[in-house]
Amino acid sequence: MKIRPATTADLDAVVRNESSSFSTPWSRHTFLSLLARHTVIFRVAEDDEGELIGHGIIWWVFDEAELANLAIAPSARGKGVGGSLLDVLLAEVALHGVLRVFLEVRKSNEAAHRLYRSRGFEAVGERRNYYVNPREDAIVLQLDFDVDLSRAS
């Protein structure tokens, strides 16, 4: 597996991956606009044949960041791709002076909860009816780098 910066050439595959991962996927235009932002880290994961099997996006303002998107192709789930992408995103954003990372995750997404807990994220809140299609609450998770920066590398 290879993790690298996303390019415009990846967007069709990213959109396909996004659509197979989320009930309300982001648009191609959204992904395209993120490629140009200097406070966004947008990475893709490829398998050994060069097929895109995941993507992740994190952005930051000052010393806080949000893991905005992490999607793994159904065929690659449970194989460590999500963890590898997350580790790269966290390590890279830490280099920009970020001390705290937030994210929202569906309350019912146990696989995602396990992944985030394994990296030191802790629940700090809940957003009622945050998700639609189906409607569901989100759990807000937080990771503080100043507690244990080694978790981001």
The full set of domain ranges for the chain reads 2-152
Query: Is the pTM higher than 0.85?
Result: yes
| pLDDT value of residue 46 | 97
Tell me how far apart the alpha carbons of residues 121 and 93 are, in angstroms, rounded to a whole number. Answer: 15
| pLDDT, average across residues 65-86 | 95
Determine contact, residues 17/25, Cβ cutoff 8 Å: no
The alpha carbon of 152 is separated from its chain's Cα centroid by a whole number of angstroms, namely 14
The yes-or-no verdict on residue 55 having pLDDT over 70 is yes
Confidence band of 104 (pLDDT split at 50, 70, 90): very high
Q: What are the catalytic residues? A: 104, 116
Tell me how far apart the alpha carbons of residues 8 and 140 are, in angstroms, rounded to a whole number. Answer: 30
Confidence band of 152 (pLDDT split at 50, 70, 90): very low
Tell me how far apart the alpha carbons of residues 15 and 8 are, in angstroms, rounded to a whole number. Answer: 11
Confidence band of 131 (pLDDT split at 50, 70, 90): confident
Q: Tokens 């639609």 identify what position?
A: 132
Tell me the CATH architecture of domain 2-152: 3-Layer(aba) Sandwich (3.40)
